[in-house]
Every structure is written in structure tokens, then in C-alpha cells.
Amino acid sequence: MISFEFTESQIEVLRMARELAERKILPDIQKYDREHKYNPQLMKDMAEADLLGFCLPEQYGGLGMDYISLGLACEELEYADTSARVILSVHIGLYSLPVCTWANEEQKEKYLNPCTVGDKIGTFGLTEPAAGSDAVGIRTTAVKKGDVYLLNGEKMWISLANVADYFLIFAWTDQDKKKARDHSGLSAFLVEREFGGVSTGDIYGKLGVRAGSTGYISMTDTPVPAKNLVGNEGEGFKIAMFCLDQGRYTVAAGSTGLIRACRDACVKYARDRTTFQHPIAEHQLVKEMIANMEASYEYSRLLWMKAGWKKNSGEPSTRETSLAKWISCREAEKAAADAVQVHGAYGFSDEYPVERYFRNAKGSSIYEGTREIHTLLQADYALGFREDKPLRVHLPVVDQG
């Protein structure tokens, strides 16, 4: 049975994330957003709050909490700002959970434990200047020379690129399969910033998530020890899709938090703002926009919670995660646009947070699977054209108590 009552541990995670958002994010977010600056202290604050590894097994330094807890934390952080949720999406969803699932014990000891406790930062490198949704279109190569692979290529639009210590990088190890666009020629590697030939930088001029760190990773003859191959040669595409499953889940939950932020901002403003001698909360078309936000929040939350429930149960959740990501991001865009409309001219100014919500909402419908990709996925599932194959590894089992 699915219960809509949160457990004590889930409530505790929600409380920790909400408290961090209220104390450490909201007071300064306008400043960092205006200045297009990433706040490095936030990662330290999240580590101190045990939010960087709470859903990882205790044996790797985590708290062993469940995936509903992860969703709740993402919802609370994005209620404050998308840039804060992105940290969990990347550090936990795209890096730590995949490393915990696919890496061997030696790799976990070196590349997972320090990230779980916040001593090191991990990120995920798949997207390139000429390859986004078309993952098989990446050009980065990994050529084996003795006991190392030499990596050459550039990753683009990588969150935390310029601050991360470890990178989960995807590259072609079979050049013939690269030419044939056969994804079984892709492999995954754990790359350290300190390896030779690695350089990173920030991307400026973004529409949204301006308080987040977004950049590039460039590798030139970067020597990566053969023992840093994650999984087997040729499993890179499967690992990348697994990573995206976890990342999309966090984006879905986070976008749900953004919808709630839009709703709450509009409720407050509509009660305070008066036109034609009446609070605008009494105008029917304003009510309609707020009602739509309420509805979209409720069903978006149900969708990500269903995906989280399946993750907790050890069941495949790619279909449910895709649906949750598609719908919550779509509804967040609409809620943010309506929030600006409710605020009128003030919504066009950063005096109120809704213009930031509007800018931030757009990115979620692009990264980790565009809305068009998820639309096609859901159609293919419904038509019977797509069926997910079982993987040889699975997410860590969690205690749901």
C-alpha cells in the first residue's frame, strides 16, 4: 500500500532542507542571482546539514535514507532557488548514486566516500557542444595506452564543472562503433581534476540558474588509469541513462517545489494588491491562475512520489520518472509565467522573486531530457514501442522506516 503519511526520517530530511533554505539560501539569493555568482559556502552548509549523502548507504558515509526523502529535499531546496536543488541533482543524482551502483569497491572507497561527507564534489560529464539529447553524438574519445586511457574531448553545460573534484566522464572506447553510432562503444570513467590535461571554466550570460555553477570540462591527452573505468567497456551508455534516471527524478521533485513557490508568492501578492477597489484575489481570472498552480502542484507531487516509491521498492522506474520530469517541468514553466502575469509590472522586476522563477523554470524543460524527448518516450511506452530492459545492477536498497 502507498501511504501519504511521511515517516519520521522523511519529515526530518524535509525539516533539514527547509531550515537550510530559510537560513542559508533565501536571505542572499537575490544578490547572487543578480551578480551571476555561485556561492561556494552553500556546498559547505549542505555538507554540515548532512544533505550531500543522506540517501547513500551508511557504509559509504551516508545516512541510508530513502528516495522519497531525496525528493522532499529537492522540492524544498528549489522552493528557495533552482541553483540549490541543482547541487543535489548533480552531486547525488548524477554522480554519487551512479558511482554507488556501478563502481567497484575500490572505486567507491576513493571516489564516493569523500563526496558523501562533502569533502569532495562530484559531477557528471555527458553533454558536449554538439551533443545534448543525441547522447550517441558525443565526440570525446578514450584510447587505451598500456595501463591508462588517454581522454580527449570537451564537455559543455556541466553543472559544478568549475568547482568539482571528480568527474564521471563518458567517452568512446571503440572508434569503429563511434563511426557506426553504436552506443555499445561508449564507456564511463572516473576522472580527477588533478589528472593532467584537464581544464574547466564557467559559462556566463545564462538566462536562468544564475546563482549556479555551470561550465565546461576540457580534456587533452588526459591520462586516466585503466582501473578508473566504471563498469565494463561498452557499458557507458547504460550507465549514462541510469544517471539521467536519477537526475530526472530530482528535477521532477525540484520543479514541483518551484510550482509551490509560484503559488505561494501569488497567494500573498493577490491578497495584498488592490485594483478597482478590490484585492486582485477576488478577480476570477487571477483565481483561475492560482487554482491551476494548486492543481499542478498536487499532481506533479504525486507523479514524483510514485517514481520515488518504485525506487524504494527496487522496481524499475524509468517510465514513471520520465513522466514526472516531463509534467512537473511543463507545469513549472506555466506556473512561473502565470506568476509573472499575476504580479503584473512588478513581475517584470526582480523586486519580486517570480521573475527569477520564470527564468529558472525554462532550463528544466531542456536539460536531462527535453520536453520533446519525454513526450516521445511517453508515447512510445503507451504504444508499446518501448520496453525497458533489466540492468545487471540496481540502486542501493534503502530502509523505508
How confident is the model at residue 396, as a pLDDT? 87
By CB atoms closer than 10 A (0-12, 13-18, 19+), residue 307 is buried
Residues in contact with 46: Cβ distance below 8 Å, sequence separation at least 6, in sequence order:
20, 52, 84, 87, 88, 118
Cα four-point dihedral sign 65, 20, 349, 339: positive
How confident is the model at residue 2, as a pLDDT? 65
Of 57-61, 124-128, 397-401, highest mean pLDDT: 124-128
Cell representation of residue 181: 553510432
Indicate the pLDDT class of residue 172, thresholds 50, 70 and 90. very high
pLDDT (tens digit per residue) in 208-222: 999 999 999 999 999
Q: Where are the domains of the chain?
A: 8-116, 122-234, 238-383
* pTM for the whole structure: 0.97
How many Å separate Cα 370 from the centre of its chain? 13
Contact 89, 98 (CB under 8 A): no
Which of the residue ranges 73-82, 186-195, 347-356, 387-396 would you say has the lowest mean pLDDT?
387-396
Residues in contact with 272: Cβ distance below 8 Å, sequence separation at least 6, in sequence order:
279
Contact 331, 300 (CB under 8 A): yes
How confident is the model at residue 4, as a pLDDT? 82
The CA distance from 351 to 134, in Å, is: 39
Write down the residue that cell numbers 512537473 correspond to: 328
How confident is the model at residue 401, as a pLDDT? 56
Indicate the pLDDT class of residue 11, thresholds 50, 70 and 90. very high
Above 90 in pLDDT, residue 3?
Answer: no
How confident is the model at residue 399, as a pLDDT? 67
What percent of the chain clears pLDDT 90, i.e. is strictly above it? 97
The CA distance from 160 to 201, in Å, is: 10
Mean pLDDT, residues 182-211: 97
Active site residue 368: yes
How many Å separate Cα 234 from the centre of its chain? 25
How confident is the model at residue 245, as a pLDDT? 97
How confident is the model at residue 109, as a pLDDT? 96
Indicate the pLDDT class of residue 397, thresholds 50, 70 and 90. confident
Mean pLDDT, residues 293-314: 96
Q: Which fold has domain 122-234?
A: Butyryl-CoA Dehydrogenase, subunit A; domain 2 (2.40.110)
The correct answer on CATH 1.20.140.10 for the domain covering 238-383 is yes
Above 60 in pLDDT, residue 228?
Answer: yes
Name which of 60, 159, 206 is nearest 119 in CA terms.
Answer: 60
CATH of 8-116, one of 1.10.1660.10, 1.10.540.10, 3.40.1390.10, 3.40.1260.10: 1.10.540.10
| DSSP string over 305-361 | HHHHHHHHTT---HHHHHHHHHHHHHHHHHHHHHHHHHHGGGGGSTTSTHHHHHHHH
The CA distance from 302 to 253, in Å, is: 10
pLDDT (tens digit per residue) in 337-374: 999 999 999 999 999 999 999 999 999 999 999 999 99
Above 80 in pLDDT, residue 400?
Answer: no
What percent of the chain clears pLDDT 70, i.e. is strictly above it? 99
Contact 340, 354 (CB under 8 A): yes
Mean pLDDT, residues 145-152: 97
Q: Which residues of 115-148 are buried (b: 16+ CB within 10 A; e: fewer)?
A: bbebebbbbbbbbbeebbeebeebebbbeeeeeb
Residue 8's H or E segment, with its range, is helix 8-20
Contact 327, 291 (CB under 8 A): no
pLDDT (tens digit per residue) in 60-92: 999 999 999 999 999 999 999 999 999 999 999
Across the strands, what pairs with 217?
A: 155, 200
Residues in contact with 366: Cβ distance below 8 Å, sequence separation at least 6, in sequence order:
none
What is the DSSP secondary structure assignment for residue 128, as one 8-state letter?
B
The CA distance from 351 to 369, in Å, is: 32
Contact 14, 7 (CB under 8 A): no
Contact 95, 122 (CB under 8 A): yes
Above 80 in pLDDT, residue 1?
Answer: no
The CA distance from 332 to 93, in Å, is: 20
Residue from 294, 368, 372, 387 carrying the catalytic annotation: 368
